[in-house]
Amino acid sequence: MASSKPPRGMRDFLPDQVRKRDYVIGVIKSVYEKYGFEPLETPAVENLSTLSNKYGEEGDQLMYKILKRGEKLSKKLESGQVRNENDLSDLALRYDLTVPLARVMANYRNELPRFFKRYQIQPVWRADRPARGRFREFYQCDVDAIGSRSMLVEAELCTAVCEILEGLGFDDYLIKLNNRVLLFAILESAGIEAGVRDQSVVILDKLEKIGPQKVIEALCRIGVSAAAADSLLGLFSDLGKLTVGETISAISAFAKDSSAAQEALKEIGEVAELSGIERLKVDCSLARGLSYYTGAIIEVVLTGGDFSGSVAGGGRYDELIGMFGKEEIPAVGLSIGLERIILIMEERGMFPESITTSGADVLVTLWNEDAAADSLKLASELRSAGKRVLVYPEPDKLGKQFKYADQIGVKTVCVLGESEIKDKTVTIKNLKTGNQETVSRETAAEAIDTALK
Amino acid sequence: MASSKPPRGMRDFLPDQVRKRDYVIGVIKSVYEKYGFEPLETPAVENLSTLSNKYGEEGDQLMYKILKRGEKLSKKLESGQVRNENDLSDLALRYDLTVPLARVMANYRNELPRFFKRYQIQPVWRADRPARGRFREFYQCDVDAIGSRSMLVEAELCTAVCEILEGLGFDDYLIKLNNRVLLFAILESAGIEAGVRDQSVVILDKLEKIGPQKVIEALCRIGVSAAAADSLLGLFSDLGKLTVGETISAISAFAKDSSAAQEALKEIGEVAELSGIERLKVDCSLARGLSYYTGAIIEVVLTGGDFSGSVAGGGRYDELIGMFGKEEIPAVGLSIGLERIILIMEERGMFPESITTSGADVLVTLWNEDAAADSLKLASELRSAGKRVLVYPEPDKLGKQFKYADQIGVKTVCVLGESEIKDKTVTIKNLKTGNQETVSRETAAEAIDTALK
């Protein structure tokens, strides 16, 4: 007999889990919709040529490729000339949501508005080694504003993500803001040579994790002078507890000779001011590993509880979205770590009770086969009143029907026994308290509301 | 440059299309939830061993198989011993939602309720030849009630699907009901030999399409006697315009010696009575091609308009869901043709206007860069009042901003010019009528409501 397990690293979502996921996705969607972002969906499968060489060597390895079909495959196999995967595969599973967005921007240029604000919440697949919180099928949740270089766009993205986190019940989030141009200008002002700045960024990104001393050591190892490393880390130690305005002043003084730095600082100041977010910090060590950012770099972290770390991140990448077309298209985007947020909300017990309990409000009992029409009629009345109603499908003993309702987490049972059917009444039993009362059919929905309170 | 098209037979869904799809899915979900069905989601990818040999030879050919990765693949290729697809593939894309359900039933036996009512709305993939309305990635929308043999379950499934179709605005649907046991009992009573009954069912299923004369000819060609064929078709010509009760009586008389037929007719009568559906017809020619039905066979058709045909179908299949376990698990299910329903609703213009128009209620203009904070603040106030608000991101000429709003289908523009900012007012312009009025900031949301009416 075949195994009944899902593939390694992939998950079945039973009803309670689907409800939790839908709840989080619902909050995210409703905030994005309020900000005028619009939903986009692309196929799970892309042409291999669309995805190849877009994610570096690691990406090409972790991508799920789909076998060619029919004659295309059999001819290739018969030829005995199978040299590599591309001979066997023509399609692959979606690896992220950014490349499909770039493809869509090129393909529907004339159908999409000049300023295209889209969100996309869909699964992606990576043949990564599974680990706690890391899956081979997982949802990405991307929001991007395309077509404008205005800082207003960065500001709105930051405001929207705060509203989402607050909507989900988080109160310990912090928006970290940096700018790629500023980062490099600071390195220059500190006296770090152009040739090692890329490497220096990667090292500096670890400042919070490994501390200043180890950063200085690592910088010196790649050839940064001790004076330059000290100068750089000196700046960071000064920034510690400063406000946004004070941080900007301090960096401005440090990089006073760099017009690029002054321009980037102006941009950061604008985003901070326009977004009006209090829980915002300028963090010039932030690089987020990705080399495609061209301006703002944004990271959203949680600071409290057992878990602290990134739950969303993004930035401006003006040179990426145009990859399938002829022109450069400015863009700024954020990706929310949906799987991580769901995990943290579970650990912190943040899901509302109404989400985590059974799907039905009430179970209607079945007295005997002849009473089925009566039970269905009552169910129909209750559904018309907006209730989610299960009808017990078989004429079992009442005790068994109560026990079943209790097992599946339904809190109220409508008993429709011989006398109730005769009298056109219903007995409503609250399984939690054990209380029950017999009411007229017309008032049943109301009585359930009272019992559910 | 790589192509910017999605793979052949697969679709990108731009915002308006996503909204339409979400609308239909939302109606379906809300009805199923009211009936106590619960959401289930399974991975897009399944182990190849889970899906192999489950869908016949055609299914194995149309299935998208995923290439093995890393060493597993390279070793196989180096060995030069690639005999077939299974040497190259270990995973495949979901082909339907029934086999994953059967797998889930076996894997979570103790976590799932005895009567498991689930709905599942997810894409499946088939490497079929693309055609109008036929795609290689398409959504299936399945609802199944598992664990009971009671006809109450069939009745509820039929009622729910009617409620969905009415909720979407269809008034020309018809529920066709048959029973596999009855179908074979009728063939027996007509005098058709056991050995050709399977083939006869397939022929009879085409009755509506090809007419009685061609059915008789086809039956005779496979060896059915002319007398038996005439007897069978005689029954069907009698049934034409009969009510449910009259149909049951007529068939009961025709198959009076078959206790199986009498039992199946009792079941059909029960479903018809318990569901209380007026638009219901007993159609004993209905077979729906699938051999796995064991009892009720249900098909939902639309009868009016340019399009007539099936939009949902299903039945009872008591021997299928247990395939990954040791015991037989009774089940009855329906699949709604989501893609077809969306297509028909588009053709018939059935989507509410609120769904088919732009995502934003209002666009806030940007006067100049210094006014960005004011525009964002107004947007924030309007969002708090529940509006979906776009802020024009760049300080273009007002005329250009109006034109943009009009292009993307936003009906109302909030103008925040120099004088409005000074006076703490907003000018609200209805793009459809051209009317505009200047109101205080506090009453802006209200004024937009009036303008949108």
Interfacial A residues in 268-327 facing B (CB < 8 Å): 270, 273-274, 276, 324-325
Q: Distance (Å, rounded) from C-alpha A89 to C-alpha A73?
A: 9
Residues B260 and B394 occupy one common structural domain: no
Question: Which residues of chain B does A50 touch, with a Cβ-Cβ cutoff of 8 Å?
Answer: 2-3
In this structure, is residue B174 part of a structural domain? yes
Find which of B10, B67, B406 to mutate to test the A interface (most A CBs within 10 Å of its CB).
Answer: B67
In terms of domains, do A300 and A227 share one?
yes
Does B153 sit within 8 Å of A33, measured CB to CB? no
Which chain A residue is nearest to residue B381, measuring alpha carbons? A34
* In B89-134, alpha helices (H): 98-107
Same domain, yes or no, for A342 and A368? no
Residue B85 in any domain: the answer is no
Residues A363, A319 share a domain = no
For residue B374, tell me if it sits in a domain. yes
Give the nearest chain B residue to A363 (CA atoms).
B36
C-alpha distance from A46 to closest chain B C-alpha (Å): 6
DSSP string, B266-335: HHHHHHHHHH--SSEEE-TT---S-TT--SEEEEEEE-SSS--EEEEEEEE-TTTGGGGSSS---EEEEE
Q: Whole domain around residue B448: which residue ranges?
A: 359-452
Residues A236 and A144 in one domain: yes
CB contact under 8 A, B388 and A36: yes
B10 touches chain A (CB under 8 A): yes
Alpha-carbon gap: B15 to the closest alpha carbon of chain A (Å):
5
Q: What parts of chain B have a pLDDT lower than 70?
A: 1, 290, 358
* Residue spans of beta strands (DSSP E) within B126-250: 137-146, 173-179
Question: Domain count of chain B?
Answer: 2
- Which residues contact residue B342 at a Cβ distance below 8 angstroms, ignoring those fewer than 6 apart? B20, B21, B24
CA dist., res. A60 & res. A42, Å (int):
20
Q: Which residues of B touch A103 (CB under 8 A)?
A: 4-6
How many alpha carbons lie under 13 Å from residue A367 in its C-beta half-sphere?
18
**Does residue A42 belong to the interface with chain B, where contact is any CB pair within 8 Å?**
yes
Distance of CA B172 to the CA centre of its chain: 17
Nearest CA in chain A to B154: A393
> Cα separation of B90 and B127, whole Å?
18
**From the list B10, B36, B325, which residue is nearest A390 (CB)?**
B36
Q: Which amino acid type is present at position A144?
A: D
Domain boundary among A347, A375, A407: A347
Q: What are phi and psi of A96, to 5 degrees?
A: -155, -175
φ, ψ (nearest 5 deg) of residue B23: -65, -50
Instruction: Out of B33, B41, B273, name the one closest to residue A373 (CB).
Output: B273
- Yes or no: say if A264 and A188 are a contact pair by the CB < 8 Å rule: no
- Residue B62 has a pLDDT of 94
Instruction: Find, among B91, B3, B106, the residue nearest to B47 by Cα.
Output: B91
**B281 occurs within a structural domain:** yes
The residues facing A429 across adjacent strands are A413, A436
Q: Is residue A1 part of a domain?
A: no
- A333 and A372 inside one domain: no
B385 CB near a chain A CB, below 8 Å?
no
Q: Of A357, A363, A369, which is closest to residue A392 (Cα–Cα)? A: A363
Decide if A283 contacts A177 (C-beta within 8 A): yes
**Structure confidence at residue A451 (pLDDT):** 80
In a domain, residue B107? The reply is yes
CB B284 within 8 A of CB B182: yes
Same domain for A275 and A423, yes or no, is no
The first and second tokens of residue B306, run together, are: 């340019």
| Cβ of residue B36 closer than 8 Å to a chain A Cβ | yes
According to the model, what pLDDT value does residue B8 have? 96
- Contact yes or no for A85/A134 (Cβ under 8 A): no
Cβ–Cβ under 8 Å, residues B413 and B362? yes
What pLDDT sits at residue B290? Answer: 65
Rounded Cα–Cα distance for residues A356 and A416 (Å): 28
Residue B201, domain CATH: 3.30.930.10
**Residue type at A366?**
L
Query: Is residue A338 less than 8 Å (CB to CB) from chain B?
Result: no
Residue A7 lies in a domain: no
| Contact between B12 and A108 using a beta-carbon 8 Å cutoff | yes
* Mutation choice for A interface testing from B1, B10, B38 by most A CBs within 10 A: B38
Residue B423's CATH number: 3.40.50.800
Any chain A CB within 8 A of the CB of B46?
A: yes
Residues in chain B: 453
- Interface residue B45 vs chain A (CB under 8 A): yes
Do A62 and A192 belong to one domain?
Answer: yes
Q: Is the dihedral of CA A136, A2, B139, A386 positive or negative?
A: negative
Q: What is the 3-state secondary structure (H, E, C) of chain A?
A: CCCCCCCCCCCCECHHHHHHHHHHHHHHHHHHHHCCCEECECCCEEEHHHHCCCCHHHHHHHCCEEECCHHHHHHHHHHCCCCCHHHHEEEEECCCCHHHHHHHHHHCCCCCCCCEEEEEEEEEECCCCCECCECCEEEEEEEEEECCCCHHHHHHHHHHHHHHHHHHCCCCEEEEEEEHHHHHHHHHHHCCCHHHHHHHHHHHCCHHHHHHHHHHHHHHHCCCCHHHHHHHHHHHHHHCCCCHHHHHHHHHHHCCCCHHHHHHHHHHHHHHHHHCCCCEEECCCCCCCCCCCCCEEEEEEECCCCCCEEEEEEEECCCCHHHHCCCCCCEEEEEECHHHHHHHHHHCCCCCHHHHCCCCCEEECCCCHHHHHHHHHHHHHHHHCCCCEEECCCCCCHHHHHHHHHHCCCCEEEECCHHHHHHCEEEEEECCCCCEEEEEHHHHHHHHHHHHC
pLDDT at B151 (0 to 100): 96
For residue A165, the tally of other CB atoms under 10 A from its CB is 24
- The residue among A347, A368, A395 that closes a domain is A347
Q: At how many degrees (to 10) do helices B226-239 and B180-190 cross? A: 130
- Shared domain check, A253 and A388: no
Same domain, A377 and A324: no
Do A158 and A90 belong together in one domain? yes
Answer with the one of A326, A347, A368 that is the final residue of a domain. A347
Kindly give the residue spans of alpha helices, DSSP state H, lying in B302-428.
Answer: 338-347, 353-356, 372-384, 398-407, 418-423
**Could you tell me the two tokens for B65?**
């198989």
ipTM given for this complex: 0.94
State the DSSP H helix or E strand holding residue B238, giving kind and residue range, or none if neither: helix B226-239
Q: Distance between CA A64 and CA A360 in Å, rounded?
A: 39
Same domain for A279 and A365, yes or no, is: no
* CA A426 to chain CA mean position, Å: 45
Q: Could you tell me if residue B340 is inside a domain? A: yes
How is residue B20 annotated by DSSP?
A: H
Q: What is the pLDDT of residue B377?
A: 95
- Phi, psi (deg, nearest 5) at residue B181: -65, -40
> Cβ contacts (< 8 Å) between A72 and chain B: which residues?
none
Question: Contacts of residue B378 in chain A, CB cutoff 8 Å?
Answer: none
Q: What span, in angstroms and rounded, lies between the C-alpha atoms of B230 and B216?
A: 7
B160: exposed, middle or buried (C-beta count within 10 Å: 0-12, 13-18, 19+)? buried
Low-confidence ranges of chain A (pLDDT < 50): none
Residue B96: enclosing H or E segment and its boundaries? none
